[in-house]
Structure 1
Amino acid sequence: MYIVPEREIGALMTRTSAFDAVEKVFAAMASGEAYNFPVIREAIGHEDALYGFKGGFDRAGLSLGLKAGGYWPNNLAKHGEINHQSTVFLFDPDTGKVAAMVGGNLLTALRTAAASSVSIAHLARKDAKVMGMVGAGHQATFQLRAALEQRDFTKVIGWNYHPEMLPNIEKVANEAGLPFEAVPLDGMREADVIVSITSAFAPSLMAAHVSPGTHLACMGTDTKGKQEVDAALLAVATVFTDEIAQSVSIGEAQHAIAQNLMTEADIHQIGAVINGTHPGRKSADEITLFDGTGVGLQDLAVAAAVVDLAIEKGIAIKVDV
């Protein structure tokens, strides 16, 4: 078995590599070559933590395994550790033997950002100029860096529940040579692309805040009850997702479906656009929305790529089990 520690991930996995890995696995999911296992996610009754498992099997990439981890909200304050903690385990699909254990914290941030950037690459208008961010926490910085690589943006605008956090994304915008403006939520009407990345249980971005032709990547809703955007927004958008089953159960679509504003049949896999079996955006005025719920296959794809690189560079630690 190979071990790739968390400390090595930053030198191995680039945003481009994460994008390629996630794009390929989305395509494999849409073609039926890859599937996710049911998600287990539990409140463990200790430290207010949520803990769970996401796994799957990709026949195309021959990736089999799971990510174990969750959210410990007191970590940063109590222990100086980030609140999201995870580890990816890969298994040999031919024998079932454990093949690798990979630090999953940075990988989770990179694969989540890669998912939204894949949606921008395939669904945003080619002439998109203004990038909007709803959310300014740790993950938002990863989201913004990845998103800015997908179009020739000229400006970044942002809103956050806690305005004092907006300098996090302003710094990223400035590093990219772009001006940044803090706006109220109705100021998001200026945006051509919007990424929402919050942990909210009530919507902040409403349908009236979004202009025709906008592409949205909603990346924060991954649990029953969570909600970032108005359910009515999904009703007027063409909705895409990583996995339909998760979109309707733990993603943004759970609320629109509960309110009878849409049905499961109204949701499309982003992989179908990648494969060319769905046309994607059909007009300049169409609102497109990607409901990024986060699937185990994303984690396996980026972890497998990291293991290959770590072995090639002599960084991977080999142990007998």
Structure 2
Amino acid sequence: MFVVPESEIAGLVSPAQCFEAVEAVFSAMARDEAYNFPVIREAIGHADALYGFKSGFDRAGKVLGLKSGGYWPGNVEKGLTNHQSTVVLFDPDTGRPAALVGGNLLTALRTAAASAVSIRHLARCDSRVLGLLGAGHQSAFQMRAAVAERPFEKVIGWNYHPEMLPRLAETAVELGLPFEAVSLEDLGAQADVIVTISSSVAAQLLDAHVRPGTHLACMGTDTRGKQEIDAAIFARARVFTDEVAQSVEIGEAQHAVAAGLIGAGDIVQIGAVINGTVPGRQSEDDITLFDGTGVGLQDLAVAARAVAAARAKGVAVEVDL
């Protein structure tokens, strides 16, 4: 099997390659050529950590495997990233382990790629103001990926801890865009596209904040109990997701479904939009909402790209297991 260490990932896959891999996986899922297995995500009762597994099989891409990892909130004090993950790929023909891949940067890249896919296929073409709710580590990746999809002229942002907003300002400057820290009311009033990427457990962006024509990419909720936006927004929106089952169980839609505002049948796989079998945005006034729950197949797709690049560049370490 091949080992691709975390330290090599940045030189192996670009954001554009991650976009292509994630878009292809969403398309395969909608064609029933790729599927995810049930997610396991639990508090382990040690170090306040959440730990779990995401796995699946992409028959179209012949990629089989799992991502294992979670969230250790005390890691920053140890000089480590709070989010830790590792991807294991298997040979789908034999079941033998094929690769072990560092998954931290890949997770950030594939999450940003998923929201970018939603922006490309659902946001208004004339979107000019990008809004971000959240200013953690993932926010910079989200901003860079979003800006590649629309000719944004300005970035605005809000964070529960405003002292973290300089991260957004610095990333906007890197991209040649002005940045403004705003209230939640102004975030909704100004932004054409809003990416939410917080770890909130209570709605922050309210129904009254969101105007017609907005595209929302809700990327922070991947566990029962998390919530970034008012469930009432779902009743006004056309709702899309990576995988419906995850959206209902652990995604942002869990609260709207529990309240009876929408049902699973009201949520559309974004892969169907990519494939052209279901329409995406149908009017300039549509509120489109992408519930990005983070499926295991995304991780496997970008990890497979990383392994191929590592082998081509001679930086993959081959071991006999």
CA distance in 1, matches of 2:302, 2:312: 15
Mapping of residues 253-268 of structure 1, within 5 Å: 253-268=253-268
Q: Deviations over 1:81-111 (max 9, x none)?
A: 0100000000000000000000000000000
The aligned counterpart of 2:105 is 106
CA distance in 1, matches of 2:161, 2:209: 19
The residue type paired with residue 48 of structure 1 is D
- Which blocks of at least 5 consecutive residues in structure 1 are unaligned? none
Mapping of residues 51-62 of structure 1, within 5 Å: 51-62=51-62
Equivalent position SS for 2:85: strand
Q: Deviations over 1:124-173 (max 9, x none)?
A: 00010000000001011111110111000000000000011011011111
The aligned counterpart of 2:281 is 281
The residue type paired with residue 160 of structure 1 is N
Sequence identity (%): 69
Alpha-carbon distance, 1:211 to partner: 1.2
CA distance in 2, matches of 1:179, 1:211: 22
CA RMSD of aligned residues (A): 0.5
Superposition TM-score, scaled by structure 1 size: 0.99
Q: Deviations over 1:36-65 (max 9, x none)?
A: 000011111110001100000000000000
Alpha-carbon distance, 1:215 to partner: 0.4
The aligned counterpart of 1:298 is 298
Q: Deviations over 1:191-216 (max 9, x none)?
A: 00000000011000011111110100
- Which blocks of at least 5 consecutive residues in structure 2 are unaligned? none
Matched, 1:244 2:247: no
Alpha-carbon distance, 1:301 to partner: 0.2
CA distance in 1, matches of 2:85, 2:271: 25
Q: Deviations over 1:232-289 (max 9, x none)?
A: 0011000000000000000111100111111111000010010001110000000000
Alpha-carbon distance, 1:174 to partner: 1.0
The residue type paired with residue 44 of structure 1 is I
Count of residues in Structure 1 that have an aligned counterpart in Structure 2: 320
The residue type paired with residue 98 of structure 1 is P
CA distance in 2, matches of 1:259, 1:55: 29
The aligned counterpart of 2:31 is 31
Mapping of residues 101-180 of structure 1, within 5 Å: 101-180=100-179
The residue type paired with residue 133 of structure 1 is L
Q: Where do 4+ consecutive residues of structure 1 move more than 3 Å?
A: none
Equivalent position SS for 2:240: strand
CA distance in 1, matches of 2:234, 2:165: 26
Matched, 1:231 2:231: yes
The residue type paired with residue 103 of structure 1 is G
Equivalent position SS for 1:131: strand
Superposition TM-score, scaled by structure 2 size: 0.99
CA distance in 2, matches of 1:50, 1:97: 28
Alpha-carbon distance, 1:25 to partner: 0.2
